[in-house]
Structure 1
């Protein structure tokens, strides 16, 4: 029995070790960024020494849009990876908990079996006769009455012991079934995570190939085109009057989240990263709010799905701005029409215009009790066709 106990405990340790290996973090990626930086694909029909006129500009604009599509695909795959990673962590924790229950249940069952063995040994020392037989052979009426009471107590105790052993065994079988189901889910999550990782790596490689084919002058012009596109989007967003009357101040928690996020400026974007050396978009926002004392979902899609929504006109510093119709990117509002975010591979955490990308909506990790719009109001601020949110 003791050997079985040691074996089960060793098995539990092995399970935890295996979980640690399966849940080992990878890297992660995010979505497109408005902030430019040199680098992109060679523009079709442009060769060194050629005059860079309208045609090359049109070619570079096509390159810019192609890179935007590629990095947006990276962002989507990154959030798929992050979601699979979160599920893996949860399932691993559940397996660890179930393993502990199995070990404790096995120890309890061993103890019950020891007690049952002791009762059997006691009967053997009594000549192998059941207690009822000894009672019937007694000549003393008083002994008979006392013995009858003890037999009834012993029968109840034996019945209770057997019942407890049966229930413990049933619990162990259920724990084992649950653990097996969690293992299957863990394996499914591992495959989903690996698939998302392959998508990320493939799309990043495609984008880097495009950028590597550009001449230095083309890279500089491309960076300028990216800046101009972001500035046009921001100007149109501001001119819509979306921020008129927006003057809400940050809460104490919001200020802490903003302070954390802005302190990360300059750190590289790495897909799947949650700091402290690198971040992807949702890794930055989730860690910033964790530093402020509030847990928020890990991915931008879950942040959009589960956090209270507020109208754009009601947003305040610390709120999270969700971008694109698929909620594949997120930044943190700083006030005065600006936000901080981790843009995409090859970039660093930076500030940008809050309207420089199509806004899906705004969510508030701190809730809406101390001011702000409702989920219904937040819906009116959504850009349903990929455009910037309206007031």
Structure 2
């Protein structure tokens, strides 16, 4: 095996090894594109507000969990892209291995042609004609030689193309691996951010006494009711009268069956979910593949006016599209709220609505 062949074979092995690493649990990497808040490194403020103002505590917790949701979207985007990238790397590895086998076959055929020429002494056609006892036999043979020369030229051209393809595959594999390594760090950063924000929220809550926690839950309930009432008072439900499509009904049925299951960042069932894990799996069960993250659902799926909303549509929340829920009708949604809570039925107006998107438009 020549130096060039050894180098290409090594590249193939490297790609296969990379794919093996990517296939390991928790080791699928790809480049997320987090917003600045998803990569912030400042430490959360864990001190209780003066006089233990529970409304201020509630707002601080909302901020911490919101930042965790943004980082979770970045993490999920990395996971989603990793699946596609891993498939591309597997295809590259297969091309390299197949190309190596093809190159070896072509070299064997070229060697056989060279040995055949050596056996004829490499004499020019004119000399072979003069030395031949039977000119007719020679002319017949010359025709075959001409065909053989043309075949050899084709062989050499194919061998060159195969070599060039292998070199390109090798370069592509090296570039992919370098990108994956950079993306691994980006994904790890997003995970660190998620864990930090959730841990900060849990520590803040742990400083509260039992009665304070109960009061905090009541304050959250009141805030949700106030926001929902304000939304309904706009008369929006008088304008929303769309009916669910067949796929929409299937997505709603799936989401309804998940009520009560815990929220877990990065999860997409069947035992736990994050917000976009729930919506993407609900629509997957209805036969519609949609983007994994709330931000990509907002970017890629067709938008509809809120007045035209129908059950089964997805409502995207907050100005950074960091939360998503499934609209089920009558001004209600099913969603996976945040850590420490479960998949639940809630008012569609309890959070600021950014947009409505339709997976089966």
TM-score clears 0.5: yes
- In 1: Cα distance, 2:227 partner to 2:176 partner: 46
Asked if structure 1 preserves the Cα contact closer than 8 Å seen for 2:49 and 2:56, the reply is no
Match of 2:153 in 1: 159
Which of 269, 282, 289 is residue 275 of structure 1 equivalent to?
269
Match of 1:253 in 2: 247
Which of 99, 121, 129 is residue 122 of structure 2 equivalent to?
129
- In 1: Cα distance, 2:88 partner to 2:192 partner: 27
- In 1: Cα distance, 2:12 partner to 2:70 partner: 41
Match of 2:289 in 1: 295
Does structure 1 residue 327 correspond to structure 2 residue 328?
A: no
Please report the RMSD computed on the Cα atoms of aligned residues, expressed in angstroms.
2.2
Classify 1:83/1:230 alpha carbon distance in 2 versus 1 (closer, same or farther; 3 Å): same
Which of 62, 79, 89 is residue 85 of structure 1 equivalent to?
79
Equivalent pairs, count: 341
Match of 1:358 in 2: 352
Deviation at 1:83, TM superposition (A): 1.1
- In 2: Cα distance, 1:187 partner to 1:312 partner: 42
Asked if structure 2 preserves the Cα contact closer than 8 Å seen for 1:80 and 1:196, the reply is yes
Classify 1:188/1:15 alpha carbon distance in 2 versus 1 (closer, same or farther; 3 Å): closer
Match of 2:22 in 1: 19
For each residue in 1:56-97, what CA deviation from the matched residue of structure 2 results, as whole angstroms up to 9, or x when unmatched?
Answer: 6xx100000000011000110100111122222222211111
- In 2: Cα distance, 1:315 partner to 1:100 partner: 46
Which of 89, 100, 117 is residue 94 of structure 2 equivalent to?
100
Deviation at 1:117, TM superposition (A): 1.3
- In 1: Cα distance, 2:61 partner to 2:324 partner: 19
Q: Which has the higher contact order (CA 8 A, sep 6+)?
A: 1
SS of residue in 1 equivalent to 2:237? coil
Asked if structure 1 preserves the Cα contact closer than 8 Å seen for 2:335 and 2:343, the reply is yes
Asked if structure 2 preserves the Cα contact closer than 8 Å seen for 1:101 and 1:175, the reply is yes
- Residue ranges of structure 1 left out of the alignment (5+ in a row): 27-40, 47-55, 368-391
- In 1: Cα distance, 2:65 partner to 2:129 partner: 87
- In 2: Cα distance, 1:22 partner to 1:115 partner: 44
Higher helix share: 2
- In 1: Cα distance, 2:28 partner to 2:205 partner: 28
Asked if structure 1 preserves the Cα contact closer than 8 Å seen for 2:280 and 2:289, the reply is yes
- Residue ranges of structure 2 left out of the alignment (5+ in a row): 30-45
Does structure 1 residue 318 correspond to structure 2 residue 303?
A: no
Match of 2:200 in 1: 206
Which of 66, 83, 107 is residue 113 of structure 1 equivalent to?
107
- In 1: Cα distance, 2:288 partner to 2:123 partner: 65
Asked if structure 1 preserves the Cα contact closer than 8 Å seen for 2:75 and 2:266, the reply is yes
- In 1: Cα distance, 2:142 partner to 2:118 partner: 19
